[in-house]
Structure 1
Amino acid sequence: MFAIDVALCTYRRPGVAATLQSLAAQVLPTGVSMRVIVADNDDEPSARERVLAAGAGLTLHYVHAPARNISVARNACLEAATAPAIAFLDDDEVAPPTWLRALLTTMEQTGAPIVLGPVRAQYGDDLPAWLKAADLHSTRPAIRRDGTIDTGYSCNVLFRRDILNGLRFDPARGVTGGEDDAFFSQLYRRGHRIAFAADAMLEEVVPPHRAQLRWLLRRAFRNGQTYASIRLAAGDWRIALATRAGAKGATCGAAAAANVWSGPRWRRALVRGALHAGTVARVLGKRDLRLYS
């Protein structure tokens, strides 16, 4: 019997019930078992009753991890995990019945100890048309020209627990975001390969407060700051990193101006430019934006 712990962090989000219900519908391969760990990041255990009710039928472990810091919640999940493999998804995502099977199949076929899946954003009819056309909320890994993936995310991932060797999510990044990028980048630098399972799709509804260009720009800027800190830790030269990012940012600015007639295109170029601007800002010492409270 092969066991998987599915980890889920939650903070005052009723949608966690739908996430748990989708996990209860997973169709697992013969000989594979699943336990769900839910870490409640609220000051009070506000999600406890909702989680226990929605998780009926699941093998469920609820833990209260107060701090309003996502790294604290993620680390509580790691501390509670006992299975050989751990999967993470978010509390606003819904998994099809084949999700976990697809991640596990790719892990077995590739031998990679870390497997990422994509997240497809769902846009309501009341949101701007450009938002769906630009599709800046969906998540996929950045795959380099040689086919390698050198970082990851926690919204759709399966990894072997034995590769951690005490590694935990950085609490200092738990209120800025980017804690998962840094976590998986460290694992990659330790020599652990990352694979991609294109068919391990999750779906996430985009809420109105995130359906704004300002929010997308801020997130991209902070992503650039995270990228810069990761590259600096890997030994990149500051001047070279800032020069490359500055040139790419200028190119994105030109692309935004050239495509001003197209709502999706200029916004997409502007958001990409914000990422490069964040890289330059981090190299110059600007403190990371705090996206979460």
Structure 2
Amino acid sequence: MPIEIINIDICIATYKRVDLLKKLLESLVVQILDESIKIRIIIIDNDPNASAQSIVNAFFAKKDLPYIYDTQPEKNIAITRNKALDYTDANFLAFIDDDEWATPDWLNNLLLASTQYDADVVFGPVMPQFSEVAPDWISKGGFFNRNASKSGDIKTHGATNNTLIRNPEKFKAIFRFDPEYGLTGGEDTDLFHRLYLNGAKLVWNDAALVYEVIPPERMTVNWLVKRALRGGQIYAKVYLREFSLTQKTIWFFKRINYLCLSVLLLPVTFFMGKHRWVWVLLKITANFGQLNMVFTNKAYQEYK
């Protein structure tokens, strides 16, 4: 009986991170997979100068692995990801970011979870790897530890930093990233929530582990506040559109309540360590960001 071949396209959007991209590629070519699983790597460079081209071509010249490299010059992460989708034709599709690297059983664990939970989409954890020693308040606060789910948990949205999609052709009519999110980010949150609303089963798998490099410039209160603001704005933008007027009213007053409580709590936390007051400050900022979207549809453009 012939072996059923499973084809997986791994999509990577990149922008001026050639050293990190090379580390990611090195982790992908050593994935532990059954011989029936065939992977292809699709790299779309958002740099109009094609800064990653030489290193990508040199890397694959020594590998027996199919790949595609192309550029997408417009500064828009959604359009860049869509260009990767234009090349895909596999029965599975994976996403991983260019500042990450995968553990050897990453892809296999995503596949196993897709079968175990009969899931259309599987998300996995992204663990921080600090490029230099993190300040004590960063470590204590756990600001980059974003994984609070258990394997098998149902999700209503997710990110492209560690994801597997089964049979993407099933959702072809809606499986595109919205360019409106191209400078703000959140295009992945929007897409996967739309998939969820259209019947896709989204689950979490804690075993499919990747690591993300955290550079020094992210280990600041300023960066965390901007990320919290944008996160709140994107969350509200994605979810509010499906709410009824009654649901929006209840949601609005809950956010006001959370915001007021956090503001009252903030002075107390000044005596409890920097990680405590920063944590509360981020809650204030995220709630403000959500409320902000009631009055405007413009989110903070992190990638402008």
* TM-score in terms of structure 1 length: 0.94
Q: Which has the larger radius of gyration?
A: 2
Deviates more, 1:273-282 or 1:232-241: 232-241
1:263 Cα deviation from its structure 2 partner: 1.8
- Secondary structure of 1:229 counterpart: helix
- Secondary structure of 2:112 counterpart: helix
Query: What does residue 277 of structure 2 align with?
Result: 266
CA distance in 2 between partners of 1:74 and 1:270 (Å): 32
1:64 Cα deviation from its structure 2 partner: 1.2
The answer on 1:159 being equivalent to 2:169 is no
1:31 Cα deviation from its structure 2 partner: 1.2
Q: Summarize deviations over 1:120-144 as a string: whole Å, max 9, x none.
A: 011244432111221212333678x
Alignment of 1:110-121 (within 5 A): 110-121=117-128
Q: Summarize deviations over 1:189-239 as a string: whole Å, max 9, x none.
A: 111111111011110111122111111111111111111111222124333
* TM-score in terms of structure 2 length: 0.90
Name the amino acid aligned to 2:154. Answer: T
- Secondary structure of 2:235 counterpart: helix
2:190 to 170, 179, 182: 182
Name the amino acid aligned to 1:91. Answer: D
Q: Summarize deviations over 1:96-147 as a string: whole Å, max 9, x none.
A: 110000111100100010000010011244432111221212333678xx95
Alignment of 1:136-151 (within 5 A): 136-140=143-147, 147-151=153-157
Asked whether the 8 Å contact 1:141–1:149 carries over to 2, the reply is no
Q: Which runs of 4+ in 1 moved over 6 A?
A: none
Name the amino acid aligned to 1:239. Answer: T
1:22 to 20, 27, 36: 27
Q: Provide closer, same or farther for how the CA distance between residues 147 and 91 of structure 1 changes in structure 2, counting only shifts above 3 A.
A: closer
Query: What does residue 13 of structure 1 align with?
Result: 17
Q: Provide closer, same or farther for how the CA distance between residues 69 and 183 of structure 1 changes in structure 2, counting only shifts above 3 A.
A: same
- Secondary structure of 1:115 counterpart: strand
Asked whether the 8 Å contact 1:71–1:174 carries over to 2, the reply is yes
The answer on 1:63 being equivalent to 2:70 is yes
Asked whether the 8 Å contact 2:149–2:206 carries over to 1, the reply is no
Name the amino acid aligned to 2:191. Answer: F
Aligned length: 291
Percent of aligned pairs sharing the same letter: 31
1:60 Cα deviation from its structure 2 partner: 1.0
Asked whether the 8 Å contact 1:123–1:132 carries over to 2, the reply is no
1:273 Cα deviation from its structure 2 partner: 2.2
1:92 Cα deviation from its structure 2 partner: 0.5
Query: What does residue 111 of structure 2 align with?
Result: 104
The answer on 1:50 being equivalent to 2:55 is yes
CA distance in 1 between partners of 2:58 and 2:258 (Å): 49
- Secondary structure of 2:154 counterpart: coil
Asked whether the 8 Å contact 1:133–1:264 carries over to 2, the reply is yes
Q: Provide closer, same or farther for how the CA distance between residues 46 and 242 of structure 1 changes in structure 2, counting only shifts above 3 A.
A: same
* Unaligned segments of structure 2, at least 5 residues: none
* Unaligned segments of structure 1, at least 5 residues: none
